[in-house]
Amino acid sequence: MSLTRNARLLAATTVASGMIAAGALALTVPAASASTISHNTSYSFRTIDNPRDLTFNQLLGINDLGEIAGYFGSGAAGHPNQGYVIPPFSHAFVSENFPGSVQTQVTGLNNRGITVGFWSSMNNASQVNDNHGFVDVGGHFRTADFPTGSPATPPVDQLLGVNDSNVAVGFYTDAAGNNHGYEYDINHGRFSSVTEAGVTSLTAAAVNDRGDVAGFYTNSGTGNTDGFLKVENRTFIDLAVPGAASTMALGVNNYDEVVGVYTDAAGNMHGFTWTPKGGFRTVDDPHGLGTTTINGVNDHGQLVGFYVDGNGNTDGFLATP
């Protein structure tokens, strides 16, 4: 499904190779509020699938203009990921693939025309493939892999989000199978780590224009995968849906509205939104109850993601409040 081993979710499953190994953490910041936001907010849902492949689509990012990033193709052998963007107010799907790649996912985009994602030179039956982060600036592509001395084999490096300051975030997997979040300054070609004291495995999945970073990590206190929001590179807020087996934060807007996916005790997947004042709210596509993932959110509160329909197809969706 994704370029890496697992592949049901984007950032949740694009990180599947070496995904979330156990870490050592003693959080001093309390978990996020378990309350829900106003139920007056409702969404209209629209399924969006690339006509080149109606069996597998994932929408991964949306900017304030309404432009959407995504890909089709499950990543199984002979069914490679192929990236695309959907321009605002358009039904067109514009192909975007790293030059010479076998597979590409376009995972994030900003309001300045820059897109990010990752590519692979492989499409193995095992779905254990190399991953390399990339940036596309006006049609000029470049690989952006964190300079590490202990990469996984094959290497796993993915960019997952980008803000209007042209700062991208992502992660790489080390030889021990732990994920390490990082920022990449596109204008200057500089890398910096996104870390938290005591955390061994962390994925940076999204960044807003204030520099607040959302993602997920291994909580050694519970053994679960929890989401997080790191505000101004200082305050680390644990995001764990009450009673969930895992919570992954995958997107954030400039109002610190965080979106993502959680897995309930029965193994069902649900999309969620979270705000600092309102807490959590479950948001599922009505055609994908128990199979919904929300990957991106813009400043208008529009959501993009995907679900699995009754025929077993993975469909992209846009939800507008």
Per-residue pLDDT of 112-161, as tens digits, reads: 999 999 999 999 999 999 999 999 999 999 999 999 999 999 999 999 99
Of 35-49, 251-265, 279-293, the range with the lowest mean pLDDT is 35-49
Higher per-residue confidence, 281 vs 2:
281
Instruction: Name the band, by pLDDT with cuts 50, 70 and 90, for residue 207.
Output: very high
Q: How many CB atoms sit inside 10 A of residue 192's CB?
A: 12
Instruction: Name the band, by pLDDT with cuts 50, 70 and 90, for residue 264.
Output: very high
Higher per-residue confidence, 61 vs 90:
61
Is the confidence at residue 170, as pLDDT, over 80?
A: yes
Per-residue pLDDT of 43-82, as tens digits, reads: 999 999 999 999 999 999 999 999 999 999 999 999 999 9
pTM for the full predicted model:
0.89
- Judging by DSSP bridges, how do beta strands 190-194 and 293-297 pair with one another? unpaired
Express as a percent the part of the chain with pLDDT over 90: 86
Q: What's the confidence (pLDDT) of residue 120?
A: 98
- pLDDT averaged over every residue in the chain: 89
Buried b (16+ CB within 10 A) or exposed e, 3-29: bbbbbbbbbbbbbbbbbbeebebebee
Is the confidence at residue 219, as pLDDT, over 70?
A: yes
Tell me what the mean pLDDT of segment 289-304 comes to: 98
Q: What's the confidence (pLDDT) of residue 40?
A: 57
Instruction: Name the band, by pLDDT with cuts 50, 70 and 90, for residue 245.
Output: very high
Is the confidence at residue 11, as pLDDT, over 50?
A: no
- What is the C-alpha separation between 202 and 187, in angstroms, rounded? 25
Is the confidence at residue 3, as pLDDT, over 50?
A: no
Domains and CATH numbers, the chain: 11-320 (2.120.10.30)
Give the SS3 label for residue 11.
Answer: helix
Is the confidence at residue 209, as pLDDT, over 70?
A: yes
Is the confidence at residue 17, as pLDDT, over 80?
A: no
Instruction: Name the band, by pLDDT with cuts 50, 70 and 90, for residue 38.
Output: very low
Which tokens go with 26?
Answer: 């003693």
Which tokens go with 267?
Answer: 């193994």
